């Protein structure tokens, strides 16, 4: 696909890395948008062009579009996730909500032919989903500032698609992880802790409810879905999920067993890591994506956990026992 240019916001994050690697391999020119180019440079591919933008300046974004002339935009940037969905609600609203409207308006003004993809979230469905599993037609009822801002952005994508005719899509992404996930998220916390216990760097891990359930998939698979959406004949929104749920206890068991350990000897359940207003189980129905895009997840949950543990073990071993 030579001759195509993709802008990726949030390029230094987990999803940005997986998406940029896929697009670079397909011959794209990739422009990574970040609030801090100095921080991003060491963690992104050297062939990615970096552009600093604070997500508030609409004139600066329009100028970026004129300069970079993208054919596609993937908006992965988000303020606060994981345990921080209630932190800084005003900033969350500005970055996760209003900035998306700003980008869509810039596309409409500068070049309506640009294809736009938005990272929506299963947090749109809220604490008590109206149906299970959740699909594109399940009513939204967000439970946090994060979810509310994501819903505003998701709604604006639909408005710009229907009212202005933009090729604008949203992927309603359920939890997705990879070896690049850090310890702010429970998957990164558990897999890193298992590696630390194995290396003798710690002996225990305190977690919240071990029976909480999530639909966990692989970030690389989900970014493949994002790419497929912008190559489709028509724009639409899609749930991207595995359709299977696992408990935090399952996560712990798999992570520690992979290293020959019993999680029950090291994991203790407490209140320290409970998220406010803990959600009911969310399980995604991605049958529409399978039917219309030919997308299906390729990495199983046990495979995902093992690769994450191995990555933490390798990193900690390379850095020495003082890590």
Give me the pLDDT at residue 36, please.
Answer: 86
Q: Tell me if residue 72 is catalytic.
A: no
Q: Looking at domain 5-176+216-240, what is its CATH homologous superfamily?
A: NAD(P)-binding Rossmann-like Domain (3.40.50.720)
Could you tell me the CA-to-CA distances from 285 to 135, 173, 252, 281 in Å, in that order?
5, 11, 25, 13
Confirm if 274 and 209 have CB atoms less than 8 A apart.
Answer: yes
Query: CATH for 182-215+245-277+300-319?
Result: 3.90.25.10
* Identified catalytic residue from 146, 160, 222, 238: 146
Structure token pair of residue 121? 């979230």
Confirm if 198 and 186 have CB atoms less than 8 A apart.
Answer: no
Give me the pLDDT at residue 26, please.
Answer: 97
Count CB neighbours of 103 within 10 A: 30
Positions of the chain with pLDDT under 70 = 1-2, 80-84, 271-280, 321-323
Residue 13 — φ and ψ, nearest 5°?
-85, 180
| Domain positions in the chain | 5-176+216-240, 182-215+245-277+300-319
How do residues 31-73 score in pLDDT, each as one tens digit?
A: 999 988 888 899 899 999 999 999 999 999 999 999 999 999 9
Give me the pLDDT at residue 277, please.
Answer: 43
Q: Tell me if residue 122 is catalytic.
A: no
* Identified catalytic residue from 121, 122, 144, 219: 121
Give me the pLDDT at residue 188, please.
Answer: 96
Give yes or no on whether 5-176+216-240 and 182-215+245-277+300-319 have one common fold: no
* Identified catalytic residue from 72, 123, 177, 192: 123
């Amino acid at each position: 696909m030579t001759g195509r240019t993709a802008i990726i916001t949030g390029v230094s994050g987990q999803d940005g890395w997986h998406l940029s690697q896929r697009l670079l391999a397909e011959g794209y020119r990739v422009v990574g948008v970040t609030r801090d180019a100095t921080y991003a440079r060491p963690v992104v591919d050297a062939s990615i062009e970096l552009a600093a933008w604070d997500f508030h300046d609409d004139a600066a974004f329009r100028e970026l579009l004129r300069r970079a002339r993208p054919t596609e935009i993937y908006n992965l940037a988000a303020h606060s996730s994981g345990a921080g969905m209630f932190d800084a609600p005003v900033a969350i609203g500005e970055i996760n909500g209003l900035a998306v409207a700003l980008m869509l308006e810039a596309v409409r003004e500068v070049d309506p032919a640009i294809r736009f993809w938005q990272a929506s979230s299963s947090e749109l469905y809220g604490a008590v989903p109206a149906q299970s599993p959740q699909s594109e037609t399940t009513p939204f009822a967000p439970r946090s500032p994060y979810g509310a801002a994501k819903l505003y952005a998701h709604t604006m994508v639909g408005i710009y698609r229907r009212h202005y005719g933009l090729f604008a899509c949203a992927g309603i992404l359920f939890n997705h992880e990879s070896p690049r996930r850090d310890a702010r998220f429970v998957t990164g916390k558990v897999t890193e802790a298992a590696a630390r216990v194995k290396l003798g760097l710690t002996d225990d891990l305190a977690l919240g409810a071990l029976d909480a359930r999530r639909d966990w998939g692989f970030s690389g698979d989900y970014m493949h879905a994002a790419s497929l959406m912008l190559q489709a004949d028509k724009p639409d929104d899609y749930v991207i999920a595995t359709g299977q749920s696992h408990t935090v206890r399952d996560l712990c068991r798999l992570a520690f067993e992979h290293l020959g350990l019993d999680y029950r000897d090291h994991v203790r359940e407490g209140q320290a890591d409970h998220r406010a207003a803990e959600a009911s189980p969310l399980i995604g129905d991605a049958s529409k994506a399978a039917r219309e895009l030919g997308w299906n997840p390729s990495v199983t949950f046990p495979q995902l956990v093992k690769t994450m543990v191995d990555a933490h073990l390798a990193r900690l071993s390379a850095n020495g026992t003082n890590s």
